């Protein structure tokens, strides 16, 4: 049974989580709709894999095209029917679609389980889980609505001879990456501090 103070903290946490979740999902969906409207040049009526996207540079070093030291950042329209980095993109639809529906559903259930089992005092991992949840839901909406995920953020670099064209991504992917990064930080750094503090109290 929660006392009045705990209930108040719980309500505030729910409000904060709801705001973070809705803001992330709305930003993700609005940005994808805008990307499709402004960057998509051609799309086949029936075959989702036949399309032509365009690229809009935002920041580019002239020499990056020659794979010389430099940076590129811009927007490029890409349809991803697979997982991260296009994995399973060529899998037959009768296997690919149910697979991603199942994996996403299981992931969402697991996130809710971890949210419920994480103490209210551990705010960072709870916020991190909400970010991961919002990213998973954002991409899942794409799969339900379109049959593919829209990726549009384009970044590549050549630093000290290391040339890399980073896979196109979106706001939902960013939320998932940031959330996982925060969870790793919490497990490696903050969890150790919490255990040390509990040992001192004991």
Is 151 catalytic? The answer is: yes
3-state secondary structure of 3: coil
In the set 28, 142, 151, 154, the catalytic residue is 151
CA 114 to each of CA 44, 109, 132, 136: distance values in angstroms, whole numbers, following the listed order? 42, 9, 12, 15
3-state secondary structure of 164: strand
Token digits for 91?
A: 């899998």
Token digits for 166?
A: 């980073």
Is 93 catalytic? The answer is: no
CA 144 to each of CA 69, 123, 149: distance values in angstroms, whole numbers, following the listed order? 41, 31, 9
> Could you list the active site residues?
151, 173
């Amino acid at each position: 049974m929660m006392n009045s103070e705990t209930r108040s903290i719980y309500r505030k946490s729910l409000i904060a989580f709801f705001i973070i979740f809705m803001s992330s999902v709305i930003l993700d969906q609005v940005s994808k709709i805008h990307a499709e409207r402004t960057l998509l040049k051609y799309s086949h009526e029936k075959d989702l894999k036949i399309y032509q996207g365009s690229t809009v540079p935002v920041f580019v070093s002239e020499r990056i095209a020659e794979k010389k030291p430099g940076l590129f950042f811009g927007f490029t329209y890409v349809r991803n029917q697979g997982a991260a980095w296009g994995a399973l993109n060529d899998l037959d639809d009768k296997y690919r679609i149910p697979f991603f529906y199942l994996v996403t559903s299981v992931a969402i259930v697991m996130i809710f389980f971890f949210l419920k089992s994480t103490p209210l005092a551990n705010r960072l991992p709870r916020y991190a889980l909400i970010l991961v949840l919002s990213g998973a839901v954002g991409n899942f909406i794409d799969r339900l609505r379109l049959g593919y995920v829209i990726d549009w953020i384009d970044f590549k670099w050549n630093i000290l001879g290391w040339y890399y064209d980073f896979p196109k991504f979106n706001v939902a992917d960013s939320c998932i990456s940031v959330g996982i990064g925060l969870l790793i930080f919490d497990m490696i750094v903050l969890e150790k501090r919490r255990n040390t503090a509990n040992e001192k109290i004991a």
